[in-house]
Amino acid sequence: RRAGRDRGEVRDVAAGDGRQVMTDFPGFPEEFAERYRAAGYWTGQTLGDMLSASVAAYGGRIAVVDGDRRWTYSELDFRSRGVAEGLRRLGIERGDRVVLQLPNIAEFYETVFALFRLGAIPVFALPAHRYSEIGYFCRHTEATAYIVAREHEGYDYTELAEQVSATVPALRTVIMVGEAGGFVPFDDLRVPPGEEPPAPEPSDLAFLQLSGGSTGTPKLIPRTHDDYLYSVRESARICELTPESVYLVALPCAHNFPMSSPGSLGVFYAGGTVVLAKDPTPGTVFELIERERVTITAAVPPLALAWLAALPTSRDLSSLRVLQVGGAKFGVESARRVRPELGVRLQQVFGMAEGLVNYTRYDDPDDIVTGTQGRPISEADEIRILDDSGQEVPEGRPGHLLTRGPYTIRGYYRAPEHNEEAFTADGFYRTGDIVSRTADGYLVVEGRAKEQINRGGEKIAAEEVENHLLAHESVHDAAVVPIPDEYLGERTCAFVIPAGDTKPRPIELKRFLTARGLAAYKVPDLVRVVDEFPHTPVGKVGRSALRRAISQALQRKDQ
Ligand code: OOB
């Protein structure tokens, strides 16, 4: 093994020439790693080992359903070993980063396990991402390959793939699922399995997950086999997954929630079945619940509300036991509707790709299930709730949530400066969430301190959008803030100060952002051109004043 680099701890930028040695990301300090191993949280397995164990125990059972395709555990495993060999033949090796942008199709799992077996590092992009995001992920991780599907929801990814391959020098290979044009067809990877590649270390970096972020550039989250598997196993236990469980992936499969809370990986660990929904509309979802006898699924709040709004249905939903809701705050009024209207148990999930995940438990009383966002997975999850001056707040009072634990990262990937701010010296992650804690240790999300918009579970970093707006010649300054929205929880409003006498038109700015390759969900819903921004006493842009101004203006309009 190539020590250091594979562990993701030290990147071998030659020292000696006076340059600083660069670290990919801060790993868990040895003292903590030892403690987590001794406590049995980290078991020394890799995600590939996890699949192997399930193949041994449940080989003939169905692991994945995608339309008419039904793969058993043995078949998924065999296929992923073949794809691993196909990738190896293309020169993809251990430690290589591979940007993966696939919709909810079975190839996603085939590829992810192939990469895990090779010890190559998937970078999980979302289908909604465009050149601005994908180009950045490829460059920032020095990815050697990009794997994408030709088409999804009416969008043809060819041009995006061409643009990425033309502008990212380190990228050697673009692999396309479906009609591949000039790219490597995914089917070419499907060769007989080769010799078993040397297994990655459990403490190695397993993949890079995306952060919602609050900064100008998206941050990448380095998760190891050891830490992620712990959260997967515990999530499967808390959610009582068994080989009989049938989990419907309605959210984008690469997101942390449907991947590991307990998500598809929790199901693979437990020997159950993962069913992929190509879109999350009630029509598609209800049909799949009936046809596949789905027992559990996960939604963001607006999706859960859309499903409730589509009731009653002629579809038989009686197999469904649990609806998980998370990713954004699910209001108590909405939460109370789930059991009576859908006839299933609600589970609230408050998680983050950086680590910490909270669940309400199945045996919790109704007021906890509807009124809180759950409690941490592990007794080893350390929670601090602090006021602005860094003091612990009394029970029940809101404060900044900080956390540290056996599956929470100690720093982002290749972001040393940002890590200084986002983590305390003793390794706590500053989540940017404002929460309060009940006497029983349940967390209630009260708000947010980070400059982020949570648009129905989709996270938008204000600064990232502002930077794109500032690139427009008629924009002197920009501030992007959330505005309340009945359905999405929040939408985005961009305030802009014009650079000269010509006021930029909102539609023109939106088109400009789209043309710059910004994902559509990040394009502001509203654009307001103003002469100046309010300022706080310390001279920062008065974001809360802007939020108030736009909310009041919209309310006036509604009346
Ligand atoms: C999940 O992960 P991310 O990384 O997309 O976003 C994390 C952020 C949290 O810091 C919080 O601001 C917000 O999303 N959030 C919630 C929430 N769940 C997440 N805010 C209020 N109520 C909730 N239930 O979103 C994620 C990852 C794993 C499981 C579930 C969600």
pLDDT at residue 7, rounded to an integer: 40
Is the alpha carbon torsion for 207, 460, 521, 252 positive or negative?
Answer: positive
Residue 558: pLDDT band with limits 50, 70, 90: confident
Task: Give the burial string for 61-90 (b: 16+ CB within 10 Å, else e).
Answer: bbbbbbeeeebbbbbbbbbbbbbbbbbbeb
DSSP code per residue over 244-265 = T-EEEE-S-TTSHHHHHSSHHH
Q: Which residue has the higher pLDDT, 559 or 118?
A: 118
pLDDT at residue 153, rounded to an integer: 96
Does the beta carbon of 261 lie inside 6 Å of ligand 1? yes
Does the beta carbon of 257 lie inside 6 Å of ligand 1? yes
Does the beta carbon of 209 lie inside 6 Å of ligand 1? no
pLDDT at 14 exceeding the cut of 70: no
Residue among 352, 459, 460, 490 whose CB has most ligand 1 atoms within 8 A, to mutate? 352
Does the beta carbon of 456 lie inside 6 Å of ligand 1? no
Q: Whose CA is nearest to atom 19 of ligand 1?
A: 327
Enter the tokens of residue 517: 């390759």
pLDDT at 87 exceeding the cut of 80: yes
Q: Which residue has the higher pLDDT, 303 or 17?
A: 303
Q: In what order do the strands lie in the sheet with 205-210?
A: 184-185, 173-177, 145-149, 97-101, 121-124, 205-210, 220-224
pLDDT at residue 48, rounded to an integer: 98
* Paired residues of 479 in beta bridges: 495
Distance CA 211, CA 217 (A): 10
Does the beta carbon of 214 lie inside 6 Å of ligand 1? no
Closest ligand 1 atom to 432 CA: 10
Mean pLDDT, residues 374-395: 98
**What would the pLDDT profile of 335-369 be if each residue is shown by its tens digit?**
999 999 999 999 999 999 999 999 999 999 999 99
Mean pLDDT, residues 439-466: 97
Mean pLDDT, residues 309-333: 98
Does the beta carbon of 429 lie inside 6 Å of ligand 1? no
Does the beta carbon of 450 lie inside 6 Å of ligand 1? no
Alpha helices in 478-542 (DSSP H): 506-515
pLDDT at residue 552, rounded to an integer: 87
Share of the chain above pLDDT 90, in %: 91
pLDDT at residue 23, rounded to an integer: 81
* Predicted ipTM beyond 0.95: yes
Q: Whose CA is nearest to atom 25 of ligand 1?
A: 327
Distance CA 341, CA 310 (A): 11
pLDDT at 498 exceeding the cut of 50: yes
Residue 3: pLDDT band with limits 50, 70, 90: very low
DSSP secondary structure code for residue 93 in this structure: -
Residue 515: pLDDT band with limits 50, 70, 90: very high
305 CA to centre of ligand 1 in angstroms: 17
pLDDT at residue 332, rounded to an integer: 98
Distance CA 334, CA 441 (A): 23
352 CA to centre of ligand 1 in angstroms: 5
Residue 42: pLDDT band with limits 50, 70, 90: very high
Residue 268: pLDDT band with limits 50, 70, 90: very high
**What would the pLDDT profile of 207-259 be if each residue is shown by its tens digit?**
999 998 888 999 999 999 999 999 999 999 999 999 999 999 999 999 999 99
Does the beta carbon of 348 lie inside 6 Å of ligand 1? yes
Mean pLDDT, residues 43-59: 98
312 CA to centre of ligand 1 in angstroms: 29
Q: In what order do the strands lie in the sheet with 62-66?
A: 69-72, 62-66, 273-276, 246-249, 296-299, 322-326, 345-352, 355-359, 375-376
pLDDT at 13 exceeding the cut of 70: no
pLDDT at residue 438, rounded to an integer: 98
Residue 15: pLDDT band with limits 50, 70, 90: very low
10 CA to centre of ligand 1 in angstroms: 30
60 CA to centre of ligand 1 in angstroms: 35
Distance CA 104, CA 81 (A): 20
359 CA to centre of ligand 1 in angstroms: 11
350 CA to centre of ligand 1 in angstroms: 5
Residue 22: pLDDT band with limits 50, 70, 90: low
Does the beta carbon of 212 lie inside 6 Å of ligand 1? yes
Mean pLDDT, residues 311-329: 98
Does the beta carbon of 352 lie inside 6 Å of ligand 1? yes
Q: Which residue has the higher pLDDT, 322 or 555?
A: 322
pLDDT at residue 559, rounded to an integer: 64
| CA 465-471-472 angle, 5° bins | 105
**What would the pLDDT profile of 395-447 be if each residue is shown by its tens digit?**
999 999 999 999 999 999 999 999 999 999 999 999 999 999 999 999 999 99
Average pLDDT of the residues of the chain: 95
pLDDT at 453 exceeding the cut of 50: yes
Mean pLDDT, residues 45-59: 98
Does the beta carbon of 327 lie inside 6 Å of ligand 1? yes
Residue 10: pLDDT band with limits 50, 70, 90: very low
CB 429 within 8 A of CB 354: yes
pLDDT at residue 11, rounded to an integer: 45
